[in-house]
Structure 1
Amino acid sequence: MMRAWIPPILFTLSGSAVAAELIRQGNPWGAAAVLVVFALPAGVNSPLIFPKSVGAAEAQRRSAADGRPVVFWRPGCTYCIRLRMRLGRNARRLHWVDIWRDPEGAAVVRAANEGNETVPTVVVAGRPHVNPDPAWVRAQLSSSA
């Protein structure tokens, strides 16, 4: 679980160090700007912007029941962030599996990607799709409703 927080913590610590140096030099406005610049990627890379993850088995069970896609992702992945942002509110209707928190989910992704943990991997009706276009995922979500 801690592994997911490493990128945001590093962004926060780095920004704080640079801001502290700017404050020491007498530039509080520059320090504030640096904190904002480092806080944005920290927030985007944190697990907080993604809907609550479930285990792979639970996600697959839910998907079988309601027909909604399952998204396998990991924190810090720019393609996962792009998918999440482009889906907007619709992202909450998908079943999200964090492969860093769920070894079974990581195994599903490796099986679909020739041993690689390539994310996002979206599973629709049992078929994996690697890094699909967000518009296509939105269409799959519409057709399952």
Structure 2
Amino acid sequence: MSLQPIIVYGTNWCPDCRRAQRVLDQHGAHYTYINIEHDPAAAEFVIKVNNGNRSVPTIVFPDGTILVEPSNRVLQEKLSQFA
């Protein structure tokens, strides 16, 4: 895994956010979780990159790519690039 963390923007009530965190944990990924309900700047970022929507999880990778609400398979494929 990259030393630079993956950033996961989410909310505590979001089941897809918890699912994505489980996948990241299973892969031993180094990530930072930011709850957009407690961080207005993070919420603005999520809205900006999602064309006005508060879509979570929004996951930013060290290479600059962003996945929004990825399936387990898509997230696992992306994580394999950092293995």
Give the TM bin, normalised by the shorter chain: 0.7 to 0.9
Superposed, 1:79-94 pairs within 5 Å as 79-90=16-27, 93-94=30-31
Query: Quick check: which has more Rg, 1 or 2?
Result: 1
Structure 1 pair 106–91 and aligned structure 2 pair: CA distance change class (3 A): farther
Alpha-carbon offset, residue 88 of structure 1: 3.6
Identify which of structures 1 and 2 has the higher relative contact order when contacts are C-alpha pairs closer than 8 Å and 6+ apart: 2
Identity %: 28
User: What TM-score, normalized by structure 1, do the two folds share?
Assistant: 0.46
For structure 1, the residue ranges without an aligned partner over 5 or more in a row are 1-64
| SS of residue paired to 1:96 | strand
Letter of the structure 2 residue corresponding to residue 129 of structure 1: L
Deviations 1:69-103 (A, max 9, x none): 21111110111122223344446621211111111
Taking the aligned partners of 2:79 and 2:33, their CA distance within structure 1 comes to: 13
Aligned CA-pair RMSD: 2.4
Looking at secondary structure, tell me which structure has more strand per residue: 2
Question: Conserved in 2, the CA contact under 8 Å of 1:70 and 1:122?
Answer: yes
The number of equivalent residue pairs is 81
Which of 54, 69, 73 is residue 10 of structure 2 equivalent to? 73
Matched, 1:101 2:30: no
Taking the aligned partners of 2:14 and 2:28, their CA distance within structure 1 comes to: 16
Q: What is residue 143 of structure 1 aligned with on the other side?
A: 81
